[in-house]
Structure 1
Amino acid sequence: MPPHVVEAATDAAGRVFSRRTRGASDLRQAISTILTREHGIAVDAETELLITHGAQHGMSIALRALLHSGDEVVVPSPTYFFDGMIRMAGAIARYVCSTAQTGWSLDLEGIAAAITDRTTAIVLCNPNNPTGNVPTADELRHVLALADKHGLTVFSDESYERYVHEGPRYTPVRALGGDRDRVVTVTSLSKNYAFSSWRIGYVHSSPATIDKIHAALEWDVINIGDISQAAATAVLTGPQEWLDVEFATMKARRDVMHSVLAEADVPVVLPRAGIFLFADLTALGRRGDDLEDFLLDAGVAALSGGGFFGPDTHVRLLYGAAQSEVRALGERVAETVSDVRSAASRL
């Protein structure tokens, strides 16, 4: 952390704060200013924002506040780990899996076909974790039109907005209109401002919807930690040069890993965002947990695509480390695939 963030946290550690269950006013105002400046979204900081312990906490309380037992939720996949949160809300997830052939783009026809009379919501990951796909504005408008037609709530996890390496650019769902009461976005300040250990984010929706989610938050945690909120405010309002350096290296790390895997003929769609590649390791002849264990024995930590409700012959590989380590990871995967292919050719 840069000095101005450490100083803000240190100062907050010596102070006593009143309960601010919606979050610190100065932090919410900073978020509102950024959303207006960068995305042209007019936001009432007092009524339309709710500070949370990160995006996962925000999504969990939003789902529990707005869904009911037996509701069906359409979830384009592969996607982040929303399943447990949806089940905790008493709802049932209906997954619509995209394909590598389309670059993991949203299957809009599949989403429409998955909607039934029990469907109440669609959950998006924008940009997508684990594929790195960035939905286009037109694709998101299509989803919103479906939601408006069927009276559905759209939940959108937008935790990797600052990690987009190339077009199409990130588009906030709430910048596209639709029924504002039924559009809920959650965001991770921890990820987008490179301080994940602080665990802080926010929910953005209409005043009426935020009121419902706020009630769920109070039963969970009463309020968010004041020190992390002070740090977050300093990150958002202070110098940004240190972040520019951090994010400028992400695309280069991605390109290193992708090139190593491509040279080894490991199929992988070039991700446009995030810190992960979704690699096709069908050549290893293993799936799911067995694939994860096999890779771990080879010195590679990876998560099977099955955990993301995608193909379990694929794995998510992270390139968030130093470039030398990213290259070493790619080379280890390539070597493992090469060894298996060589063994198979000798049979």
Structure 2
Amino acid sequence: MPSFTHPLSSRLPQVGTTIFSVMSALAQEHGALNLSQGFPDFEPPAELLNLLDQAARGGHNQYAPMAGMPVLREAIAAKVAQLYGAQYDVAHEVTVTAGATQALFTAIAALVHPGDEVIVFTPVYDSYAPSVELQGGKVIYADLAPPGYRPDWAAVKALVTSRTRMIVINSPHNPTGTVWTADDMRALADIVRGTGIVVLSDEVYEHMVFDGARHESVMRHPELAQRSVVVSSFGKTYHATGWKVAYALAPRELMAEFRKAHQFIVFTVHAPSQVALAEFLKRPGWYEQLLALYQGKRDIFRQALSGSRFELLPCQGTYFQCVKYAAISDEGDRAFVERLTREHGVAAIPVSAFYPDARDHGVIRFCFAKSADTLSRALERLVQL
């Protein structure tokens, strides 16, 4: 095909292929165990797969309503009412999305104007900043300092200006596994009180909070809920990341703007999946099973590495474990994970990839959402380093 010869001015000049794709490709090239990209290597519940088959064979194969199947939106509203005491109007305040990344992008596209400032926390999930920049917004970075990766609320408050339009939060936090507390939410509420700032709350790991702690959703805090767009993910919750089905909740005024953008970004989401998920949400006990599953995997992972030369950082939630490797190598984190993949057959993610300036604290991230066999083989290799 002939090349495009006219000069191009990139909207995202600093953006290349994501580190997740890079490391997964490297793992495949070298036959390594992939603990890099955040997806399970085991299947969704068999009952959910059966429900999907029934939905497809039952005639649910045409466009779903733009906001999502009513039966699924009703199930979502019932879920958050039960878990968090939050009441959302099914008709106007709940929208099904094509994955959490689409929900995050849509919220930013709908609510951020050129010149607006958006505060995000580093290390930061890689989709936030490009989404802001594509709208002509300016990203303002607040640091979560290692090893605890806790927010410094005085520093955050100092970043707020008259142009601050949005604060993006993520708890449980990817990549660090930090879980924010009720005190954190109160501090955030103090900062945004009396302003027009919208909170975009990425809560896709809401059901993976360990050691008896409670997930402090913004939906538990009425003052925050009234100014927040909340995003969560069925893919993370039901081991079905490839389905790309998630949802957003927001007060009517914010959701009206969200849906204006949503209808032109994806319009609608895979209908049979929505029907299957709506039915599966009625099943009791799943969130407790999920928590037990991942806390068990975390504990196995940490116990195995506790006698190794890796230094374990706290893991309060998510299915990620961050470690320092200074006792093993003085390489940069990107070089270290590439060598770990090529020579030792285990792929990880360098945490420097979550910083806009590629700041390197000598920390890497493993994903433990893997089968018992995968984890056993990976840990056997890691403890030998």
Q: Same fold (TM over 0.5)?
A: yes
**Cα contact 1:181–1:208 (8 A) shared by 2:** no
| Superposition deviation, residue 179 in structure 1 | 5.6
- SS class of match (1:156): strand
In terms of mean alpha carbon deviation, does 246-255 or 154-163 score higher?
A: 246-255
Match of 2:263 in 1: 218
* Residues 1:253 and 2:302 are matched in the alignment: no
* Residues 1:282 and 2:326 are matched in the alignment: yes
Match of 1:269 in 2: 313
Gaps of 5+ in 2: 1-43
* Residues 1:26 and 2:75 are matched in the alignment: no
* Residues 1:328 and 2:371 are matched in the alignment: no
* Residues 1:75 and 2:120 are matched in the alignment: yes
In terms of mean alpha carbon deviation, does 243-252 or 90-99 score higher?
A: 243-252
| Superposition deviation, residue 79 in structure 1 | 2.9
2:110 to 65, 71, 76: 65
| Superposition deviation, residue 19 in structure 1 | 4.4
Match of 1:143 in 2: 188
CA gap of 1:168–1:318, structure 2 versus 1, over 3 A, is same
| Superposition deviation, residue 213 in structure 1 | 0.7
Q: Relative to total residues, which structure has the larger helix share, 1 or 2?
A: 1
Q: Distance in 1 between matches of 2:281 and 2:82?
A: 13
**Cα contact 2:199–2:224 (8 A) shared by 1:** no
2:367 to 299, 318, 327: 318
Q: Distance in 2 between matches of 1:301 and 1:127?
A: 23
Aligned pair count reads 334
In terms of mean alpha carbon deviation, does 130-139 or 141-150 score higher?
A: 141-150
- SS class of match (1:248): helix
In terms of mean alpha carbon deviation, does 3-12 or 274-283 score higher?
A: 3-12
Matches within 5 A, 1:126-275: 126-178=171-223, 180-238=225-283, 240=285, 244-275=288-319
**Cα contact 2:98–2:266 (8 A) shared by 1:** no
Give the partner amino acid of 2:229. V
| Superposition deviation, residue 6 in structure 1 | 3.1
Identity of matched residues, %: 26
- SS class of match (1:161): coil
In terms of mean alpha carbon deviation, does 150-159 or 232-241 score higher?
A: 232-241
Q: Distance in 2 between matches of 1:303 and 1:287?
A: 12
Cα offsets for 1:27-63 (capped at 9, x unmatched): 0001111111121111211111110011111001101
- SS class of match (1:320): coil
* Residues 1:302 and 2:348 are matched in the alignment: yes
CA gap of 1:93–1:130, structure 2 versus 1, over 3 A, is same
Cα offsets for 1:270-300 (capped at 9, x unmatched): 3111111111123421224323322222322
Q: Distance in 2 between matches of 1:270 and 1:174?
A: 25
**Cα contact 2:321–2:366 (8 A) shared by 1:** yes
Q: Distance in 1 between matches of 2:237 and 2:46?
A: 18
**Cα contact 1:65–1:216 (8 A) shared by 2:** yes
Give the partner amino acid of 2:306. A
**Cα contact 2:309–2:325 (8 A) shared by 1:** no
- Calculate the TM-score normalised by the size of structure 1: 0.89
| Superposition deviation, residue 312 in structure 1 | 4.7
| Superposition deviation, residue 25 in structure 1 | 0.5
| Superposition deviation, residue 140 in structure 1 | 1.2
Cα offsets for 1:172-210 (capped at 9, x unmatched): 112202265521111101112332221111111011111
Matches within 5 A, 1:14-53: 14=57, 15=59, 16-17=61-62, 19-53=64-98
| Superposition deviation, residue 77 in structure 1 | 2.1
Give the partner amino acid of 2:103. G
**Cα contact 1:304–1:312 (8 A) shared by 2:** no
- SS class of match (1:33): helix
Match of 2:140 in 1: 94
Matches within 5 A, 1:103-142: 103-142=148-187
Q: Distance in 1 between matches of 2:246 and 2:138?
A: 25
Q: Distance in 2 between matches of 1:49 and 1:212?
A: 12
Q: Distance in 2 between matches of 1:54 and 1:105?
A: 27
In terms of mean alpha carbon deviation, does 172-181 or 24-33 score higher?
A: 172-181
**Cα contact 1:181–1:209 (8 A) shared by 2:** no
Gaps of 5+ in 1: 337-347
- SS class of match (2:120): strand
**Cα contact 2:201–2:231 (8 A) shared by 1:** yes
| Superposition deviation, residue 316 in structure 1 | 0.8
**Cα contact 1:76–1:111 (8 A) shared by 2:** no
